[in-house]
Structure 1
Amino acid sequence: MSTHTVTDTLTLLRRNLRHTLRYPSMTIGSVFGPVIMLLLFVGVLGKTLGAGLAGSHSGGYIGYIAPGIIITAVASGSMATAVAVCVDMTEGIVDRFRTMPISRVAILAAHVINSVLTTVVSTASVIAVSVALGFRPHADLAHWLAAAGLMLALTVSLTWLAVAMGLGCDTPEAASNAPMLIVFLPFIGSAFAPASSMPVGVRQFAEYQPFTPAIETIRGLLTGAPVGHNAVIAPAWCVVIAAAGYTWAVASFKRGRAH
């Protein structure tokens, strides 16, 4: 990456950060939505849901669900990203950027970095509240770094996919709905209950969709639960999603809007 591209990316990143602070509603939802979900599942439903895990997970239900909510927080950031990209495309600012000597990659990269920073805040909030509710990770520094690396890789890959979705939508309203599958996929995984407890068809989908390996890997790294082949499958999914999202986003941006 050239110095020109880096400078343009940082300049546009400052612009996006100011927009995030000026219009914080989507960001607040991305940051505090998972925290509210954690409080609901642990404080209201935790006793009932945790009864089914008795004896199978030493950390109790908070120890089981916290890694799942962390991954849900990572997924939730995609909605704000898609909307922000679509707003830029539909309001004409990108057309103005195209007439200026600005790196084309920097326009998209600034959105990606802004989303990653927001998601880091969201996941940190979830971890802090989880600890306050009784979550006690057994991870050492190496395991924490591995978990952080996987969360960062998943964040970057999902963000590029969200950027591509935002570029493909005609209105911000459509862009807010486009990533809904990403947001809800952790619910049809092992975030809130083991995949083995689900009906046959649902169980097979839950086991092979992208989020379950990531959830199981984070859960294993933080709580000492077995990770197994998930430690390979989760990063592989990140690479596939990132490659697909980046290719789609760049192609859509080069093609521009048809109207």
Structure 2
Amino acid sequence: MTTSTLTHELTERELGRTLAPRPTVGDAITQTLAMAWRALKKMRRNPEQFFDVVFQPLLFTAMFAYIFGGAISGSVSDYLPIVIPGILAQTALTACIATGTQLREDMDKGVFDRFKAMPIARIAPLAGPMVADLVRYATAATLTILTGLAMGYRPDGGLTGVIGGWLLTVIAGWSMAWIFTWLGTIARSAQAVQGISMMVMFPLTFLSNAFVPADTLPGWLQSFVDFNPVSHVVSAVSDLMNTGQVTSEVWIALGMCALVVAIFAPLSLRSYSRKM
């Protein structure tokens, strides 16, 4: 192949990209759902992706309840209303790490090189797997609640409150996943994404009111805990499940989830587009 022929073909390819119609909002939604279906098929073929959301809720709920229940609340039964909302937030946040890690793995394998040659919305390859991961967040939240019920947890919020807490956990997991999606687009390897994500997850989870009441912490630490979005999610889930009331914490938690998406979704799209 001569240089002129190769140049001509490259010109035609670039021209084809230029003349390709810009995807509409409807196209972006359809393409995102197609990418979500692709991610779900990957999960079906690799069931080990569910290990963290299947076994971690069982292990952590039992471990934290039996180890810290007597020391913090006097008994396991009195501690369950405190720890169950905390475990819900922790498992959702942990499940988010896989989103960024798997994204980075796909990018390293060259899958996204094929996506960039397709006339699809730039957001679809990012949002699609996140839509599929709603299944993982829902699984983790459901198993955590069932484990708590099996251990004697009886939420005073009733079925409505439990469903509300479950739904808020899924929403929070999806919104927090944008942080790890952004990390997946800027890190150099999947191992780097996992390492950085753990450094983000542990402060957000343990420097919160997930496992101990905030008023038992030192004053300087309470300031961070009060600002921590995980604390507001835990408080909101606790209010829904333990009282059945839609308090101000619920709206604050939803507002913080929206703020996280508003910040990290554009950052993820921007860094992803630069690599395209």
Moved more, 235-244 or 21-30: 21-30
User: Match for 2:127 among 85, 106, 109?
Assistant: 109
Which runs of structure 2 are paired with 1:1-259 in the superposition (5 Å)? 2-51=25-74, 60-184=78-202, 185-224=204-243, 229-256=248-275
Distance in 1 of aligned mates of 2:64 and 2:167: 26
Q: Report the residue type matching 2:174 in the other structure.
A: V
Q: CA deviation at 1:116?
A: 1.7
The Cα of 1:26 is off from its aligned counterpart by 4.3
Structure 1: gaps of 5 or more residues: none
1:41-92 per-residue CA deviation (whole Å, 9 max, x = no partner) reads: 12344223332xx7xx9x6011211111011111111110011110111111
Cα distance, 1:192–1:72 mapped onto 2, change above 3 Å: same
Q: Which secondary structure does the structure 1 equivalent of 2:209 belong to?
A: coil
SS of corresponding position for 2:133: helix
Secondary structure, aligned partner of 1:178: helix
* Greater CA drift, 88-97 or 199-208: 199-208
Q: Distance in 2 between matches of 1:9 and 1:228?
A: 34
Q: 1:25 to 1:245 in 2, by over 3 A?
A: same
Shift of 1:2: 4.0
Q: What amino acid does structure 2 have at the position aligned with 1:100? A: M
**% identical aligned pairs:** 24
Q: Is the 8 A contact 2:92 2:169 kept in 1?
A: yes
CA drift at 1:117: 1.5
- The one-letter amino acid of 2:65's match is V
Cα displacement string for residues 183-227 of structure 1 (whole angstroms, at most 9, x for unaligned residues) = 221211111110100112112211221111111111111112987
Q: Which has more radius of gyration?
A: 2
TM-fit CA distance, 1:228: 5.3
Post-superposition offset of 1:178: 2.3
Q: Secondary structure at the match of 1:136?
A: coil
> Contact 2:161 / 2:242 at 8 angstroms: preserved in 1?
no
Unaligned runs of 5+ in 2: 1-23
Aligned-pair RMSD on alpha carbons? 2.3
Report how far residue 256 of structure 1 moved.
1.0
Between stretches 82-91 and 42-51, larger displacement belongs to: 42-51
TM-score, normalised on structure 1?
A: 0.88
Please say if residues 4 and 103 of structure 1, whose CA atoms lie closer than 8 Å, have aligned partners that are also in contact. Answer: yes
Counterpart residue identity of residue 190, structure 2? P
Q: Distance in 2 between matches of 1:50 and 1:236?
A: 31
